[in-house]
Amino acid sequence: MFIVARFLSGVAQGCANGTFSTYVAETTTPKARDILGSTIQMSISAGTMLAQLASLGLTNPPLWRVLFAITGVIALAHMLLMTRCVESPKWLLSKNRPDEAQDALQRLRKSADCTDEFKALMQTVQAEMGPNAYSASIPDLLLGKTPDNLRHQLVLAILCMVFQQISGMSGVSFYSTKLFETITNPPTHYNPKPNLAQILTGILSIVGLLAAVAGMLLAGYFGRRTLMLFSHISMAVCSVLISVGSIKEYNIMAICMVFVFYAVYLVGPGPLPWAIPGELTPIYAISSLLAIAGFTGYSGVFTIGMAFSPLLDALQGYTFIIFAATNTVAAIALFFLLPETKGRYIPDMIRTHSVGLHNVMQSKYRTSELKVED
């Protein structure tokens, strides 16, 4: 039952992550998109914090059953709240339901006059979908059989998810208590009260929520590209310092760097790989592209989740040297492949980058930031 439940919850989580990111890209203005695109990570961090804090008192038998039951209660509440959610106008137009799309856009914009925006949206959908309302399948994307050359978007989406996982964050998230135990050396005898490593894990989840909120605010001032590069470079530096602190037994430094490592991840590689594809990909291909990206991401979660604990046992303090290297590689690759999407008009981004794999540092692939007022 645990395996079945974990499988079903994993499917649901994968669908929710991709769908929410696309929904934000399709329903918000360019200015609001920069901030709202990070709310998914803030929500995940809030859930992680609540789960970690609740587990401090509910992990002992038989209270762990209450911990699992809370998940079901939250899911039911989410189902009820979703009945108030407005459908994406862009999706409705792609399904040839213009009247419903116009009504949905008006509900999203409240009392604002959205006549011109709706006309522009219709033209965008018609241009992206083509006269035959084409919808790309996963094989179409993988084999390059789409009307536009989306090789760059496909490679970038996959790499962002791969880098998200090999950054080492999944291992820290899953095994934070074990990681802190290697640093703090807790007593081996059984104690029903939380030990220092468990308390630090709870504090880490609180820091994670604060970092996610900070990341959401920073997204309104700095671009996706800037935040991704900053985060991977910072994580590489933190990884080196975690290893040095663990090896040399500078415990306070190692613990502090784990906190910083977690925080900078939530600014860039945590939320942004889900948001970036929706800002570069035409509507006819976005569902399949996010499915591929989601599969890549969750395959990485499984792989790193299985590998991190044996690595930690075998390498101890040297484990994070590996993640220093992977984050450095990520920063270099994204420097040449990731364009800036902050404040850009999505149709312009799609048109500019649907030309196959390319170096975005070349001037012909740069787009101007919109000067708009919400």
Q: What is the pLDDT of residue 374?
A: 45
Whether 131 has a pLDDT exceeding 70, the answer reads no
Residues 6+ apart with CB under 8 A from 35: 216, 217, 219, 220
Whether 238 has a pLDDT exceeding 90, the answer reads yes
Task: Tell me the pLDDT band of 186, cut-offs 50, 70 and 90.
Answer: low
156 or 306, greater pLDDT: 156
Q: What is the pLDDT of residue 156?
A: 96
| Segment 37-42 mean pLDDT | 70
| Segment 350-371 mean pLDDT | 83
Q: What is the pLDDT of residue 30?
A: 66
| Segment 335-349 mean pLDDT | 86
Separation CA 183–CA 199 (nearest Å):
13
Q: Which residue has the tokens 């989306």?
A: 150
192 or 269, greater pLDDT: 269
